[in-house]
Structure 1
């Protein structure tokens, strides 16, 4: 059975745990854990799933996850090839849910930080010019110890709450109270879709993966993800299209359309415009790849 509750080892009195990821690819399953998590992507790219949000991730991204919010950082397909030399590197700071629920955070002086922690329950992406400073402060916490680490951590939370720009990822409508059987089933569904999104996937096929009737599957999937199956598939496909538009300059728009699983160019353009507020050609022309 695929594990869904990701165990984060911690001592009985520890507030923080640090994980330095350096592997072929990130943990490839939809999962959750009771600890809060701040993650800095040092080297890697792919698609991020947080609650009902689907968006690309890249080097330099910083995310802030609350307790038990389901999430997945799925690397691009080439990371899983046997001959791949790509690496997935990240610094992850976990801190305990018990600490966040302590009386300290109920004090009047903690109102802004407490609001930030509540929003983190939907997943946050740090944005804007403050991101390098958040990364610097995060690394200081990671490398610290004792009381100074705790002081630096509170300073980090205060900075994010008062100065940093961030985007709330998952919608209010997403219900993230999922049991282990739900997550096991969703992992089977997600794994199937992520491996086969280039193909002509039918509702009957995916319902079969979930061992449900098509009608029951539609209700189940909408309740658990806040999306229809076709919306979810389109977001995966458009995300892959963006990657190809950026990295494969020799592929024309029509080739990318079919490579991503769309069966006609008109629908591809409509769905791309709907999700990205521009057309594929303009996206390619306007995308600025950072130097270095």
Structure 2
């Protein structure tokens, strides 16, 4: 599946854009852009591709996609049949850069919940069971009213604020698909992530990471599990599987056996086992599912 860069540069003076897209089906392109994207599905069904996440979508879904995270919305097959389809794909999309209100706006103490939300969006977030009044705010944001640019900006901030407080959500893409930890503030975590992402394609252990960041192995293991709520080994497997997914999606001609070793696994059976455990399907099934949809 070829990955495309989409230029969503706003030709207007506005610092963010709001678009309502109502067409027989959504754009069938696997793409990315530097703007964050906030989407609400008003009508239609299909399959949502966010990083290496493949899940169905439906009316009412709200997703926040981080900067440069590849994604695609693929409607069900009957939406592409011009003779039988009477339905429309309808969605509202908001595009904005993380610094759309200035480089330091979200660094203010009062903006910490919003800053945390934008950082979590690096791997994509799907929000569940949002209240109807919040969904109505999305629709209001897209309507051509007499609302001033300041009023529209405040409304967007209220929407983001409500999402930052909503506890029923799911992170979509795996940690390994995209290195989203470049700006981690905790120095220990930053060194840990840097070591893992630089070395996960070769055999490494918790002892190796602990030594690299000058920590006792037992202390490192406790620290890591407290932060991630999983063991280092499980996290490392997620990183490797996520990286393998990226190669399966982009490197169409690369054999699965080669991808197995390139992503840090030392044998094919363990690669297949961990891949199915994490993604719920084998590497071959993952490849075929994308191939059919594209």
TM-score band w.r.t. shorter chain: 0.5 to 0.7
Runs of 4+ in structure 1 off by over 3 angstroms are 211-223, 225-228, 233-237
Number of aligned positions between the proteins? 211
Residues 50 and 72, structure 1, Cα contact 8 Å, conserved in 2: yes
Structure-1 separation of matches of 2:70 and 2:179: 7
Q: Hey, what does 1:76 align to over in structure 2?
A: 76
Give the direction of change, closer, same or farther, for the CA distance of 1:214–1:96 in structure 2 (3 Å limit).
closer
Q: Hey, what does 2:153 align to over in structure 1?
A: 150
Deviation at 1:216, TM superposition (A): 3.3
Deviation at 1:54, TM superposition (A): 1.3
Alignment of 1:34-113 (within 5 A): 34-85=34-85, 86-99=87-100, 102-113=103-114
Structure 1: state its 5+ residue gaps.
178-185, 192-206, 241-292
SS at match of 2:7: coil
- Please state if 1:232 is matched with 2:286: yes
Deviations 1:215-254 (A, max 9, x none): 335556899x9965235258779xx9xxxxxxxxxxxxxx
- Please state if 1:20 is matched with 2:62: no
Give the direction of change, closer, same or farther, for the CA distance of 1:77–1:221 in structure 2 (3 Å limit).
farther
Q: Hey, what does 1:135 align to over in structure 2?
A: 135
**TM-score, with structure 1 as normaliser:** 0.61
Q: Hey, what does 2:201 align to over in structure 1?
A: none
Structure-2 separation of matches of 1:82 and 1:137: 33
Residues 123 and 178, structure 2, Cα contact 8 Å, conserved in 1: no
Structure-2 separation of matches of 1:172 and 1:2: 21
SS at match of 2:160: helix
Deviation at 1:4, TM superposition (A): 0.5
Q: Hey, what does 2:178 align to over in structure 1?
A: 175
SS at match of 1:121: helix
Give the direction of change, closer, same or farther, for the CA distance of 1:40–1:220 in structure 2 (3 Å limit).
farther
